[in-house]
Amino acid sequence: MNTTTILINGEPSDGRIPVTDSSVLRGDAVFEVLKSYGGVLFRSEDHLDRLEASARKLMLDLPRRSLIADWMERVAAEIGDGAVRVVCTRGSSVPGIPGEPLVIVFGHTWPSADGPCRLYPVPAPWHAAGVGWELAGAKITSYAPNMASSRRAQAEGFDDALLVTTEGIVLEGPTFSVAWVIDGVVETPALGLGILDSITRRVVLELADREGVPVREVEAPLERMLEADEAMAWSTVREVQAVSAVGDHGYETGPVTKRLQDAFAALVGNLADR
């Protein structure tokens, strides 16, 4: 995997950060991952909006937005096609040991997902699942339970996990949104369930509206998804990826998935051509 120069608070760095940093000791930080197409960042303003909203919820002070935007653009120009990561930390988490807050920005190659993926349902008792709390919707670095669910799914022979509540309501993937198609209608879990307000999810819903594809945001049991004709995973890196199986249930890559894939490809293709 090729990486760019690593910027820490805007300065080139070897990537080393203090062991006392909040991101290391507490997972106390916020982050974003953006896709760069030909050096142009996709929906950077939306990502910056969400970064700032996450920081407010975590009571984390950020540098000026224009500075972070400049650092992201410098990295995107260097990587060309790939992912740009931004991590904002609180600084030292050890009393008596000083350490300034850090904004870490770097890029790396990360090709789009190749072909459909297979998902394994995993109960997620750690997920808020619609219960209101102060960090609802924040994109924070405390992802250990989600990563554990991915490893469990892979141990079962699948590509990744599908998170469901302990009552069996469909939520999201560990790092992506999900949707399915029944009778030509796209259904996707509602934000009120406490899932991440994914930028890619927003874009795909905009594209669906433009393409005349009906959408319903739902609170649905896993059984509902298993009745579907098609299923999809949406994220910055996956873009619009077909899902070929959830557990033992298989899906074809159907016409609605293909239509949304084509619409997304055209959108980012226009971006890269600028």
Q: Tens digits of per-residue pLDDT, 139-185?
A: 999 999 999 999 999 999 999 999 999 999 999 999 999 999 999 99
The pLDDT value recorded for residue 116 is 97
- Roughly how many angstroms between the first and final C-alpha of the chain, as a whole number? 26
The structure tokens listed for 192 are: 């009120």
User: Mean pLDDT for the chain?
Assistant: 95
Distance (Å, whole) CA 71 – CA 168: 42
Residue 111, pLDDT > 80, answer: no
Question: Residue 220: which residues within 8 A CB-CB, separation 6 or more?
Answer: 169, 170, 187, 189
pTM recorded for the entire structure: 0.94
Residue 273 pLDDT level (bands cut at 50, 70, 90): low
Distance (Å, whole) CA 177 – CA 110: 18
Please choose, from the candidates 218, 264, 214, the residue with its C-alpha nearest in 3D space to the C-alpha of residue 238: 264
The pLDDT value recorded for residue 192 is 95
Complete edge-to-edge strand list for the sheet that includes strand 40-41:
11-13, 6-8, 103-108, 82-89, 29-37, 40-41
pLDDT tens per residue across span 180-217:
999 999 999 999 999 999 999 999 999 999 999 999 99
Q: Across residues 111-119, what is the average pLDDT? A: 86
28 in Cβ contact with 90 (< 8 Å): yes
Distance (Å, whole) CA 165 – CA 176: 16
pLDDT tens per residue across span 34-64:
999 999 999 999 999 999 999 999 999 999 9
The pLDDT value recorded for residue 191 is 95
Residue 112 pLDDT level (bands cut at 50, 70, 90): confident
Going from the N-terminus, what domains does the chain have, and what CATH number goes with each? 6-108 (3.30.470.10), 117-272 (3.20.10.10)
